[in-house]
Amino acid sequence: DAGITQSPRYKITETGRQVTLMCHQTWSHSYMFWYRQDLGHGLRLIYYSAAADITDKGEVPDGYVVSRSKTENFPLTLESATRSQTSVYFCASSGSSKETQYFGPGTRLLVL
C-alpha cells in the first residue's frame, strides 16, 4: 500500500479556487483512477487513465480535469471548486483493467 501516495491528505479551500490533488504510484501500474466518496453514494469514478497520455471520463467527471504525462503520476484538478465537491478523494492504480485496484490513503477536501 505504501506504493501509492496522495497529497495533500487534507485541504480546505474556498469556492471558485483551483485545487490540484496529487497521486503517485511506484509500481509502474498502467491503470490509474480517481474516485470520490460521499455518504450514501459509495465510491464514484471521476476519471481513469489506461496509460500515460490516455485518459477517459468516469461516472462523474464534470468540474474535474486530469492529466497523465508520466506513468507514475495522475493529478486531479478542480478548476473552480464548488461546495458540492467537498468529499474524500481516493486515487487507485492497477496493472490492468481486471486486476486488483490498490487505493491511496485519500484526500479529505472541504470547499467553503
In 3D, which of 92, 86, 93, 91 has the Cα closest to residue 108?
Answer: 86
User: Are 102 and 94 spatial neighbours (Cβ–Cβ below 8 Å)?
Assistant: yes
Between 43 and 52, CB nearer to other proteins: 43
Between 9 and 83, CB nearer to other proteins: 9
In 3D, which of 61, 58, 109, 57 has the Cα closest to residue 83?
Answer: 109
Please give the residues from 66 up to 105 whose contact with other proteins meets the rule CB under 8 A.
90, 97-98, 100-105
Does 62 bind other proteins (CB under 8 A)? Our answer is no
Choosing from 7, 11, 13, 45, the residue that interacts with other proteins (CB under 8 A) is 45
Q: What are phi and psi of 83, to 5 degrees?
A: -60, -30
Does 41 bind other proteins (CB under 8 A)? Our answer is yes
Does 33 bind other proteins (CB under 8 A)? Our answer is yes
Q: What angle do CA 1, 73, 66 make, to 5 degrees?
A: 120
CA pair distance 63, 82, nearest whole angstrom:
9
Helices (H), 24-112: none
Does 11 bind other proteins (CB under 8 A)? Our answer is no
Choosing from 44, 61, 73, 75, the residue that interacts with other proteins (CB under 8 A) is 44
Residue ranges binding other proteins (CB under 8 A) = 1, 33, 35, 40-45, 48, 50, 56, 58-59, 90, 97-98, 100-106
